[in-house]
Amino acid sequence: MDGSYSSDEIIPEQALAEAYGVSRTPIREALKQLENEGLVEIRARVGTFVRYPTRREVIELFQVKESLEGLAANLLAQRAPTEEIEKLQKNVQESFKVVDEDDGAAYARLVHEFHWTLVLGSKNQKLIENYDRLMNQLTYHRLVLETVSVPGRIKQSIHEHQAVVEAIIAQDPMGAELAMRNHVHASSRFVLYQPHTQTVGE
């Protein structure tokens, strides 16, 4: 995930085993798990490779993301008022501030916090697990950093966040869900509009 390996070079079990001071067995178990999550591809008797999602997969993942985050917003609105919601409010205020200061890194961090606060606030562990796996597959942090550069998108994005928070505070589950889905959908359009090097087309 930190980019140590590119998709055309193999990840040798032996090297990882030596690096972590263990044998190949636990390394193999870990890689098998990563394969199961779709992050690496193990080709039998050839090697293990980093696997980047295709453009098609990114589209699919965003569709599922939209659905899951919509559910999370819905559930959180049902639980209103809670402390997570206060955190979201502060997050939106802070976001407006750092954008005025043109602090891209701080904004990326706040976006990350917003989405995770919302999902964790759903208090649905199964939803959280599914979301976590999904985000790992999206290698999301990379995409976010690419998107923040689109002019005008950031301010719009924060307003969308704000709309979500307002619906949650109003204890309007369906409104919150639709606002969140609208937001994810909009952000996915910007991510997919950008041509990037990592997510190669099918």
- Told to check if 13 binds DNA by CB under 7 A, we report yes
Q: Which residue from 68, 135, 158, 191 is in contact with a second copy, where contact means CB under 8 A?
A: 68
Main-chain phi, psi angles of 49, to 5 degrees: -125, 145
> In the bound complex, what is the minimum distance in angstroms from residue 5's beta carbon to DNA?
11
- Told to check if 126 binds DNA by CB under 7 A, we report no
Residue 197 CB: number of other CB atoms within 10 A?
7
Which of the ranges 8-16, 66-74, 92-100, 143-151 carries the binding residues for a second copy, by CB under 8 A?
A: 66-74
- Told to check if 63 binds a second copy by CB under 8 A, we report yes
Rg for the chain (alpha carbons), in Å?
19
Question: 37 CB contacts (<8 Å, ≥6 apart)?
Answer: 133, 136, 137
Which of the ranges 6-14, 62-70, 72-80, 143-151 carries the binding residues for DNA, by CB under 7 A?
A: 6-14
Q: Which residue from 21, 43, 45, 125 is in contact with a second copy, where contact means CB under 8 A?
A: 125
Q: How far is CA 15 from the centre of its chain?
A: 29
The tally of CA atoms less than 13 A away on the side-chain side of residue 151 is: 0
The span from the CA of 86 to the CA of 76, in Å, is 12
Q: Can you give the binding site for a second copy, defined by CB under 8 A?
A: 25, 28-29, 32-33, 36, 57, 60-61, 63-64, 66-68, 70-71, 75, 124-127, 130, 134, 137
